[in-house]
Structure 1
Amino acid sequence: MIFAHDTEEALVVAVALVNTGTEAELLPDVSALETFLSQWTWTGKLVGDDAELEAVRALRLRLRRFWTATEDEAVELANGMLREARALPQLVKHDGWDYHLHATPPDADLDVRIAVEFAMAMLDVIRTKSLDRLRTCAATDCEDVLVDLSKNRSRRFCEGGCGNRTNAAAYRARKSRS
Protein backbone atom coordinates (compact mmCIF):
# COMPACT_ATOMS: atom_id res chain seq x y z
CA MET A 1 0.00 0.00 0.00
CA ILE A 2 1.44 3.36 -1.03
CA PHE A 3 -0.82 5.54 1.15
CA ALA A 4 -3.17 4.89 4.06
CA HIS A 5 -6.26 2.93 3.06
CA ASP A 6 -8.64 5.90 3.32
CA THR A 7 -6.29 8.05 1.22
CA GLU A 8 -6.12 5.45 -1.53
CA GLU A 9 -9.90 4.97 -1.41
CA ALA A 10 -10.53 8.72 -1.72
CA LEU A 11 -8.15 8.94 -4.68
CA VAL A 12 -9.73 5.98 -6.48
CA VAL A 13 -13.26 7.31 -5.89
CA ALA A 14 -12.20 10.72 -7.21
CA VAL A 15 -10.79 9.09 -10.35
CA ALA A 16 -14.05 7.20 -10.86
CA LEU A 17 -16.08 10.38 -10.29
CA VAL A 18 -14.00 12.53 -12.64
CA ASN A 19 -14.23 9.82 -15.30
CA THR A 20 -18.05 9.82 -15.13
CA GLY A 21 -17.96 13.07 -17.09
CA THR A 22 -15.27 12.62 -19.72
CA GLU A 23 -16.97 11.48 -22.94
CA ALA A 24 -20.51 10.35 -22.25
CA GLU A 25 -22.37 11.59 -19.17
CA LEU A 26 -22.29 8.63 -16.82
CA LEU A 27 -24.25 10.44 -14.11
CA PRO A 28 -27.33 11.35 -16.17
CA ASP A 29 -29.74 11.28 -13.24
CA VAL A 30 -30.09 10.89 -9.48
CA SER A 31 -30.48 7.13 -9.82
CA ALA A 32 -27.08 6.87 -11.53
CA LEU A 33 -25.53 8.95 -8.73
CA GLU A 34 -27.06 6.65 -6.12
CA THR A 35 -25.70 3.61 -7.98
CA PHE A 36 -22.25 5.23 -8.16
CA LEU A 37 -22.27 5.96 -4.43
CA SER A 38 -23.40 2.45 -3.52
CA GLN A 39 -20.60 0.95 -5.66
CA TRP A 40 -18.11 2.89 -3.55
CA THR A 41 -19.95 2.29 -0.25
CA TRP A 42 -20.21 6.03 0.34
CA THR A 43 -21.72 6.86 3.72
CA GLY A 44 -23.52 9.87 5.13
CA LYS A 45 -26.44 11.98 4.08
CA LEU A 46 -27.84 11.58 0.58
CA VAL A 47 -30.59 14.00 -0.44
CA GLY A 48 -31.18 12.36 -3.81
CA ASP A 49 -32.34 15.40 -5.74
CA ASP A 50 -31.28 17.21 -8.91
CA ALA A 51 -29.49 19.97 -6.96
CA GLU A 52 -27.27 17.40 -5.29
CA LEU A 53 -26.59 15.73 -8.64
CA GLU A 54 -25.61 19.06 -10.21
CA ALA A 55 -23.32 19.89 -7.26
CA VAL A 56 -21.50 16.56 -7.66
CA ARG A 57 -21.22 17.03 -11.43
CA ALA A 58 -19.73 20.51 -10.88
CA LEU A 59 -17.26 19.04 -8.40
CA ARG A 60 -15.86 16.75 -11.11
CA LEU A 61 -14.39 19.73 -12.97
CA ARG A 62 -12.83 21.02 -9.79
CA LEU A 63 -11.27 17.65 -8.99
CA ARG A 64 -9.97 17.24 -12.56
CA ARG A 65 -7.84 20.37 -12.09
CA PHE A 66 -5.57 18.41 -9.74
CA TRP A 67 -4.42 16.21 -12.64
CA THR A 68 -2.78 19.17 -14.39
CA ALA A 69 -1.82 21.23 -11.34
CA THR A 70 1.68 22.07 -10.24
CA GLU A 71 2.50 21.31 -6.62
CA ASP A 72 1.74 24.89 -5.53
CA GLU A 73 -1.54 24.90 -7.47
CA ALA A 74 -2.54 21.56 -5.93
CA VAL A 75 -1.78 22.93 -2.46
CA GLU A 76 -3.99 25.94 -3.10
CA LEU A 77 -6.79 23.79 -4.52
CA ALA A 78 -6.71 21.37 -1.56
CA ASN A 79 -6.42 24.14 1.02
CA GLY A 80 -9.29 26.01 -0.63
CA MET A 81 -11.56 22.98 -0.46
CA LEU A 82 -10.72 22.45 3.20
CA ARG A 83 -11.21 26.13 4.07
CA GLU A 84 -14.57 26.33 2.29
CA ALA A 85 -15.85 23.30 4.17
CA ARG A 86 -14.37 24.46 7.47
CA ALA A 87 -12.90 20.98 7.66
CA LEU A 88 -12.16 19.57 11.08
CA PRO A 89 -10.15 16.35 10.73
CA GLN A 90 -11.06 13.59 13.16
CA LEU A 91 -10.36 9.89 13.47
CA VAL A 92 -13.53 7.81 13.13
CA LYS A 93 -14.39 4.11 13.02
CA HIS A 94 -17.56 2.89 11.27
CA ASP A 95 -19.09 0.26 9.00
CA GLY A 96 -16.32 -2.26 9.64
CA TRP A 97 -13.52 0.19 8.80
CA ASP A 98 -10.75 0.72 11.32
CA TYR A 99 -9.80 4.27 12.31
CA HIS A 100 -9.55 6.65 9.39
CA LEU A 101 -9.89 10.39 8.83
CA HIS A 102 -13.09 12.28 8.25
CA ALA A 103 -13.14 16.04 8.19
CA THR A 104 -16.85 16.74 7.76
CA PRO A 105 -19.89 15.57 9.67
CA PRO A 106 -21.94 12.80 8.03
CA ASP A 107 -24.80 15.24 7.41
CA ALA A 108 -22.68 17.64 5.33
CA ASP A 109 -23.70 18.04 1.70
CA LEU A 110 -22.52 15.19 -0.51
CA ASP A 111 -20.35 17.33 -2.79
CA VAL A 112 -18.68 18.88 0.28
CA ARG A 113 -17.96 15.46 1.79
CA ILE A 114 -16.48 14.20 -1.47
CA ALA A 115 -14.39 17.36 -1.94
CA VAL A 116 -13.02 17.24 1.59
CA GLU A 117 -12.24 13.51 1.47
CA PHE A 118 -10.30 14.10 -1.74
CA ALA A 119 -8.58 17.22 -0.40
CA MET A 120 -7.48 15.28 2.68
CA ALA A 121 -6.08 12.55 0.41
CA MET A 122 -4.28 15.17 -1.65
CA LEU A 123 -2.52 16.40 1.48
CA ASP A 124 -0.80 13.01 1.68
CA VAL A 125 -0.09 12.96 -2.05
CA ILE A 126 1.50 16.41 -1.93
CA ARG A 127 3.45 15.84 1.30
CA THR A 128 4.96 12.63 -0.07
CA LYS A 129 5.91 14.35 -3.34
CA SER A 130 3.68 11.93 -5.24
CA LEU A 131 1.70 14.33 -7.41
CA ASP A 132 3.15 12.54 -10.44
CA ARG A 133 0.92 9.58 -9.54
CA LEU A 134 -2.06 11.57 -10.85
CA ARG A 135 -2.06 10.98 -14.60
CA THR A 136 -4.18 11.15 -17.70
CA CYS A 137 -4.59 7.92 -19.66
CA ALA A 138 -1.73 7.42 -22.14
CA ALA A 139 -4.10 6.27 -24.90
CA THR A 140 -4.27 8.97 -27.57
CA ASP A 141 -8.06 8.76 -27.81
CA CYS A 142 -8.82 8.83 -24.04
CA GLU A 143 -9.02 11.72 -21.60
CA ASP A 144 -9.81 9.66 -18.48
CA VAL A 145 -7.69 10.25 -15.40
CA LEU A 146 -6.02 7.67 -13.20
CA VAL A 147 -4.04 7.41 -10.02
CA ASP A 148 -0.98 5.18 -10.20
CA LEU A 149 -0.84 3.22 -6.96
CA SER A 150 1.74 0.74 -8.26
CA LYS A 151 5.01 0.46 -6.34
CA ASN A 152 7.12 1.19 -9.41
CA ARG A 153 4.95 4.05 -10.71
CA SER A 154 4.41 2.29 -14.03
CA ARG A 155 0.66 2.54 -14.62
CA ARG A 156 -0.12 4.41 -17.84
CA PHE A 157 -3.68 3.51 -18.81
CA CYS A 158 -7.12 3.99 -17.28
CA GLU A 159 -9.53 1.21 -16.29
CA GLY A 160 -11.48 1.51 -19.55
CA GLY A 161 -9.51 -1.09 -21.49
CA CYS A 162 -7.21 1.42 -23.16
CA GLY A 163 -4.05 -0.54 -22.34
CA ASN A 164 -5.34 -3.67 -24.04
CA ARG A 165 -6.67 -1.72 -27.02
CA THR A 166 -3.37 0.18 -27.45
CA ASN A 167 -1.27 -2.98 -27.12
CA ALA A 168 -3.49 -4.86 -29.61
CA ALA A 169 -3.21 -1.99 -32.11
CA ALA A 170 0.58 -1.94 -31.73
CA TYR A 171 0.71 -5.71 -32.23
CA ARG A 172 -1.43 -5.50 -35.40
CA ALA A 173 0.78 -2.68 -36.72
CA ARG A 174 3.92 -4.75 -36.11
CA LYS A 175 2.38 -7.81 -37.78
CA SER A 176 1.32 -5.81 -40.87
CA ARG A 177 4.90 -4.55 -41.31
CA SER A 178 6.38 -8.05 -41.28
Structure 2
Amino acid sequence: MLFAPDTEEALAFAVALANTAAGASRSGDDELATVADLARLLETCKFSGRIDRDEAEVREVRQTREQIREVWTLGRDEAVPVVNRMLREARALPYLTRHDGSDWHIHATEQDAPLAERIRVEAALALIDVIRMNETGRLRVCAADDCVGVFVDLSRNGSKRFCSVRCGNRMNMVAFRARRTEA
Protein backbone atom coordinates (compact mmCIF):
# COMPACT_ATOMS: atom_id res chain seq x y z
CA MET A 1 0.00 0.00 0.00
CA LEU A 2 1.37 3.38 -0.91
CA PHE A 3 0.29 6.57 0.82
CA ALA A 4 1.84 10.02 0.49
CA PRO A 5 5.03 10.37 2.58
CA ASP A 6 3.43 12.80 5.04
CA THR A 7 0.50 10.41 5.50
CA GLU A 8 2.86 7.53 6.26
CA GLU A 9 4.83 9.72 8.69
CA ALA A 10 1.66 10.81 10.49
CA LEU A 11 0.43 7.20 10.70
CA ALA A 12 3.82 6.08 12.03
CA PHE A 13 3.70 8.78 14.70
CA ALA A 14 0.11 7.81 15.60
CA VAL A 15 1.24 4.19 16.01
CA ALA A 16 4.23 5.19 18.13
CA LEU A 17 2.00 7.35 20.34
CA ALA A 18 -0.76 4.72 20.61
CA ASN A 19 1.78 2.07 21.57
CA THR A 20 2.94 4.04 24.62
CA ALA A 21 -0.25 2.91 26.40
CA ALA A 22 -0.07 0.34 29.18
CA GLY A 23 -0.36 -3.13 27.69
CA ALA A 24 0.68 -1.92 24.24
CA SER A 25 4.17 -0.71 25.14
CA ARG A 26 7.31 -2.85 25.16
CA SER A 27 7.51 -2.59 28.95
CA GLY A 28 3.80 -3.19 29.49
CA ASP A 29 3.61 0.07 31.47
CA ASP A 30 2.31 3.46 30.42
CA GLU A 31 5.31 4.95 28.62
CA LEU A 32 3.77 8.43 28.45
CA ALA A 33 3.51 9.18 32.16
CA THR A 34 5.95 12.07 32.45
CA VAL A 35 7.26 15.10 30.60
CA ALA A 36 10.51 13.15 30.08
CA ASP A 37 8.55 10.29 28.46
CA LEU A 38 6.96 12.73 26.01
CA ALA A 39 10.37 14.26 25.27
CA ARG A 40 11.73 10.77 24.44
CA LEU A 41 8.81 10.09 22.11
CA LEU A 42 9.36 13.41 20.35
CA GLU A 43 13.09 12.61 19.95
CA THR A 44 12.31 9.45 18.00
CA CYS A 45 9.37 10.93 16.10
CA LYS A 46 10.05 14.55 15.26
CA PHE A 47 7.15 16.93 15.65
CA SER A 48 7.62 20.56 14.69
CA GLY A 49 6.09 23.59 16.34
CA ARG A 50 5.27 24.60 19.88
CA ILE A 51 6.14 22.16 22.67
CA ASP A 52 5.36 23.32 26.22
CA ARG A 53 7.10 20.50 28.11
CA ASP A 54 4.72 20.50 31.07
CA GLU A 55 2.32 18.13 32.83
CA ALA A 56 -0.75 19.68 31.20
CA GLU A 57 0.70 18.93 27.77
CA VAL A 58 1.38 15.31 28.77
CA ARG A 59 -2.25 14.94 29.95
CA GLU A 60 -3.57 16.37 26.67
CA VAL A 61 -1.31 14.14 24.57
CA ARG A 62 -2.47 11.11 26.59
CA GLN A 63 -6.10 12.05 25.79
CA THR A 64 -5.13 12.32 22.12
CA ARG A 65 -3.51 8.88 22.39
CA GLU A 66 -6.81 7.42 23.58
CA GLN A 67 -8.71 9.06 20.69
CA ILE A 68 -6.23 7.59 18.21
CA ARG A 69 -6.46 4.13 19.82
CA GLU A 70 -10.27 4.35 19.62
CA VAL A 71 -10.41 5.31 15.94
CA TRP A 72 -7.88 2.57 15.09
CA THR A 73 -10.42 -0.12 15.95
CA LEU A 74 -13.38 1.40 14.12
CA GLY A 75 -14.61 0.39 10.72
CA ARG A 76 -14.51 2.80 7.82
CA ASP A 77 -17.97 4.30 8.27
CA GLU A 78 -17.68 4.44 12.07
CA ALA A 79 -14.31 6.24 11.85
CA VAL A 80 -15.62 9.12 9.71
CA PRO A 81 -17.54 11.01 12.44
CA VAL A 82 -14.63 10.62 14.87
CA VAL A 83 -12.12 11.95 12.33
CA ASN A 84 -14.47 14.80 11.38
CA ARG A 85 -14.88 15.69 15.07
CA MET A 86 -11.09 15.73 15.57
CA LEU A 87 -10.76 18.23 12.72
CA ARG A 88 -13.80 20.31 13.69
CA GLU A 89 -12.75 20.68 17.34
CA ALA A 90 -9.37 22.03 16.20
CA ARG A 91 -10.99 24.32 13.62
CA ALA A 92 -8.57 22.78 11.13
CA LEU A 93 -7.83 24.77 7.97
CA PRO A 94 -5.56 22.79 5.62
CA TYR A 95 -2.60 24.52 3.97
CA LEU A 96 0.57 23.44 2.17
CA THR A 97 3.93 23.99 3.85
CA ARG A 98 7.59 23.04 3.56
CA HIS A 99 9.88 22.93 6.59
CA ASP A 100 12.67 20.99 8.30
CA GLY A 101 13.86 19.43 5.04
CA SER A 102 10.43 18.02 4.14
CA ASP A 103 8.92 18.75 0.74
CA TRP A 104 5.41 20.20 0.34
CA HIS A 105 2.92 18.59 2.68
CA ILE A 106 -0.33 19.46 4.44
CA HIS A 107 -0.80 20.97 7.88
CA ALA A 108 -4.11 22.17 9.20
CA THR A 109 -3.18 23.92 12.45
CA GLU A 110 -0.79 26.72 13.20
CA GLN A 111 2.65 25.79 14.54
CA ASP A 112 1.86 27.56 17.83
CA ALA A 113 -1.28 25.45 18.46
CA PRO A 114 -1.02 23.06 21.43
CA LEU A 115 0.97 19.89 20.68
CA ALA A 116 -1.94 17.53 21.38
CA GLU A 117 -4.16 19.45 18.97
CA ARG A 118 -1.51 19.32 16.24
CA ILE A 119 -1.04 15.57 16.81
CA ARG A 120 -4.81 14.96 16.60
CA VAL A 121 -5.13 16.96 13.39
CA GLU A 122 -2.09 15.34 11.74
CA ALA A 123 -3.50 11.90 12.61
CA ALA A 124 -6.95 12.91 11.33
CA LEU A 125 -5.49 14.15 8.02
CA ALA A 126 -3.67 10.83 7.58
CA LEU A 127 -6.80 8.90 8.48
CA ILE A 128 -8.71 10.83 5.82
CA ASP A 129 -6.39 9.32 3.21
CA VAL A 130 -6.84 5.84 4.68
CA ILE A 131 -10.63 6.21 4.69
CA ARG A 132 -10.79 7.72 1.18
CA MET A 133 -8.71 4.84 -0.20
CA ASN A 134 -10.93 2.32 1.62
CA GLU A 135 -7.91 0.92 3.48
CA THR A 136 -9.06 1.09 7.11
CA GLY A 137 -8.51 -2.67 7.23
CA ARG A 138 -4.79 -1.88 7.27
CA LEU A 139 -5.16 -0.21 10.67
CA ARG A 140 -4.82 -3.19 12.98
CA VAL A 141 -4.46 -4.33 16.55
CA CYS A 142 -1.77 -6.96 17.13
CA ALA A 143 -2.97 -10.56 16.83
CA ALA A 144 -0.76 -11.73 19.71
CA ASP A 145 -2.86 -13.03 22.60
CA ASP A 146 -1.26 -10.77 25.19
CA CYS A 147 -0.71 -7.58 23.16
CA VAL A 148 -2.91 -4.60 22.39
CA GLY A 149 -0.33 -2.79 20.25
CA VAL A 150 -1.53 -1.17 17.03
CA PHE A 151 0.14 -0.96 13.63
CA VAL A 152 -0.40 0.06 10.03
CA ASP A 153 0.04 -2.75 7.55
CA LEU A 154 1.84 -1.13 4.62
CA SER A 155 2.83 -4.47 3.08
CA ARG A 156 1.86 -5.10 -0.52
CA ASN A 157 -0.50 -7.98 0.24
CA GLY A 158 -1.83 -6.63 3.54
CA SER A 159 -1.08 -9.81 5.49
CA LYS A 160 0.74 -8.46 8.57
CA ARG A 161 -0.75 -9.78 11.81
CA PHE A 162 1.60 -8.60 14.53
CA CYS A 163 2.77 -5.19 15.72
CA SER A 164 6.39 -6.32 15.94
CA VAL A 165 8.74 -9.14 15.09
CA ARG A 166 8.89 -9.87 18.83
CA CYS A 167 5.13 -10.56 18.98
CA GLY A 168 5.23 -12.62 15.78
CA ASN A 169 8.13 -14.73 17.03
CA ARG A 170 6.48 -15.24 20.42
CA MET A 171 3.21 -16.42 18.85
CA ASN A 172 5.06 -18.67 16.39
CA MET A 173 6.87 -20.27 19.33
CA VAL A 174 3.57 -20.79 21.16
CA ALA A 175 2.10 -22.45 18.06
CA PHE A 176 5.24 -24.58 17.60
CA ARG A 177 5.11 -25.80 21.21
CA ALA A 178 1.40 -26.59 20.87
CA ARG A 179 2.07 -28.67 17.75
CA ARG A 180 4.91 -30.51 19.50
CA THR A 181 2.68 -31.28 22.48
CA GLU A 182 -0.03 -32.67 20.18
CA ALA A 183 2.51 -34.91 18.40
**TM-score (structure 2 length as normaliser):** 0.93
Residue 21 of structure 1 aligns to a residue whose secondary structure is: coil
Q: Which residue of 1 aligns with 2:8?
A: 8
Give the superposition deviation at 1:77. Answer: 0.8
Match of 1:42 in 2: 47
Letter in 1 for 2:126: A
Partner Cα separation in structure 1 for residue 39 and residue 47 of structure 2 = 9
Structure 2 match to 1:138: 143
Pairwise CA RMSD? 1.3
TM normalised by structure 1 equals 0.95
SS of the equivalent of 1:104 reads coil
Question: Could you tell me which amino acid in structure 2 is paired with residue 127 of structure 1?
Answer: R
Instruction: Give 1:8's aligned amino acid.
Output: E
Offset of 1:16 from its aligned partner? 1.2
Instruction: Select which of 94, 106, 118 maps to 1:113.
Output: 118
Deviates more, 1:27-36 or 1:168-177: 168-177
Q: Which runs of 5+ in 2 are unaligned?
A: 24-28
Aligned mates of 2:21, 2:71 — CA distance in 1: 15
Amino-acid identity (%):
52
Task: Provide the residue aligned with 1:166 in structure 2.
Answer: 171
Deviation readout 1:62-90 (Å, 9 max, x if unpaired): 11111221222211111111111111111
Tell me, in whole angstroms, the C-alpha distance in 2 between the residues paired with 1:28 and 1:123.
29
In structure 1, list runs of 5 or more residues that go unmatched: none
Aligned to 1:21: 21
What SS is found at the alignment partner of 2:140? strand
SS in 2 for 1:48: coil
The match for 1:151 among 156, 167, 173 is 156
CA distance in 2, matches of 1:66, 1:2: 21
- Name 1:57's counterpart in structure 2: 62
Q: How far is the alpha carbon of 1:160 from its aligned partner?
A: 6.5
Aligned equivalents of 1:52 and 1:67: distance in 2? Answer: 22
In the alignment, what sits opposite 2:26?
none
